[in-house]
Amino acid sequence: MSTLLTVSALSWKIQHKSILQNINFNVRKGEVIGIIGPNGAGKTSLLRCLTNQGKLLTHVSTSGSIQLKGRDLTLYSAKEVAQHFALVMQKNDAIFALSVEDVMKMGLLPHKSLFSINNDHDKAQITLALSKVGLSHELHSAFNKLSGGEQQRVLIARALVQSSQILILDEPTNHLDVYYQHQVLQLVNQLNITVIMTVHDLNLASLYCQRLLLLNKGELICDGTPEEVLTSSQLSAVFGLPCQQGIDEITGASRVSFYLKEQLQQAEIQTDE
């Protein structure tokens, strides 16, 4: 697999507070990468750096480099970045009653010139993307009236219309029930494009990601397969809780459980008895 993205010695500060420190990793074409770590580890900040979203923030200083196809990301225009990266955010700020079609048309923006109008090819692209996420029948529905899972699927479909090579998802399973969590992540896996996403649920990350990046306090602690990253010692150190690792009997994926110290002590006492 060819390397799409190379992150080298990336550090990021906001108002002198270090958010990311000396991050190094590569992303190869077609990989599904999960970024995991506790709250405040720098997961979303890393995604912001990758999509040049740091511009929206103030008092930001960046060092190191992000190379996209061998060229520094800062040399790409905002439009070119949008042609390579599609972002699915954790939440949306829609106030007005947008239809699903309105949201889907936004995905065409990076490929359109100023006065261009939508053609039949654009409409076909929108229909195809919606059918891939199983929401063709919702084209004229109100986006705000869809369930959280359906909204995520529409935003993923919008990312497909954007025709980007890398799909970035920020906590795609947040606020979703178990059924939609699996549905959304399975969908992401079936798209056959490069995916980088932040995931809170480590077992979901293990199940759906080929590779995991474990962040803590802005540092990259471990980069590897779920089996390599989700080790008891590593996770206990990062999350500050005793952890047990095992293999899920049905999926065969690594599985982790966290306990409070008191719970473990209680369990040991009961075993001894």
Partner 1 sequence: MNKESVNKAPSSKTPAILFTLAALVIVSAIASITFGPANIGVNDLMSCLFSSCQNQVANVVIWQVRIPRVLVALVAGMGLAIAGAILQNTTRNPLADPYLFGIVSGAGLGATIANISLVDNLTIALPLAAFLGALFSVVIVVFIAKVLQHMEQLLLAGVAVSFMLGSITQFILYFGEPFATNRVIFWLMGSLARVEISNFYVISGVLIIAIATVIALHRQIDALLLGDESAASLGVDVDKLRLLMLAICAALTATIVAYCGGIGFVGLMIPHIVRQLIGVTTLKLIIGSALIGAIFLIWVDVVARSSLPEAEIPIGIITSALGSLFFLFIMYRSRQSNL
User: Could you list the residues that contact partner 1 (CB under 8 A)?
Assistant: 51-53, 55-56, 58-59, 77-83, 85-87, 89, 91-99, 101-103, 105-110, 112, 114-115, 140, 142, 144-145, 162, 168
Q: Closest CB to partner 1 among 59 and 261?
A: 59
Q: Closest CB to partner 1 among 140 and 261?
A: 140
Residue 132 and residue 117: Cα distance in Å, rounded? 24
Residue 227 and residue 255: Cα distance in Å, rounded? 9
Residue 37 and residue 213: Cα distance in Å, rounded? 8
Q: Closest CB to partner 1 among 145 and 246?
A: 145
How far is C-alpha 258 from the chain's CA centre?
A: 23
What is the amino acid identity at position 108? L
Helix ranges (DSSP H) in 113-225: 120-132, 148-161, 178-190, 202-208
- For the CB of residue 169, give the shortest distance to partner 1 in the complex, in Å: 11
- For the CB of residue 20, give the shortest distance to partner 1 in the complex, in Å: 18
Q: Closest CB to partner 1 among 109 and 128?
A: 109
- For the CB of residue 146, give the shortest distance to partner 1 in the complex, in Å: 11
Residue 19 and residue 219: Cα distance in Å, rounded? 9
On the CB side of 13, CA atoms within 13 Å amount to: 7
- For the CB of residue 82, give the shortest distance to partner 1 in the complex, in Å: 3
- For the CB of residue 223, give the shortest distance to partner 1 in the complex, in Å: 25
- For the CB of residue 18, give the shortest distance to partner 1 in the complex, in Å: 20
Residue with tokens 């990312």: 159
- For the CB of residue 207, give the shortest distance to partner 1 in the complex, in Å: 27
On the CB side of 246, CA atoms within 13 Å amount to: 6
Q: Closest CB to partner 1 among 10 and 108?
A: 108
What does residue 259 show for φ and ψ, rounded to 5 degrees?
-135, 155
Residue partners of 170: CB distance under 8 A and separation at least 6: 44, 47, 87, 88, 89, 90, 197, 198
Query: Among residues 115, 202, 1, 88, which one has the least CA distance to residue 215?
Result: 202
Residue 69 and residue 67: Cα distance in Å, rounded? 6
Q: Closest CB to partner 1 among 163 and 210?
A: 163
Q: Closest CB to partner 1 among 87 and 243?
A: 87
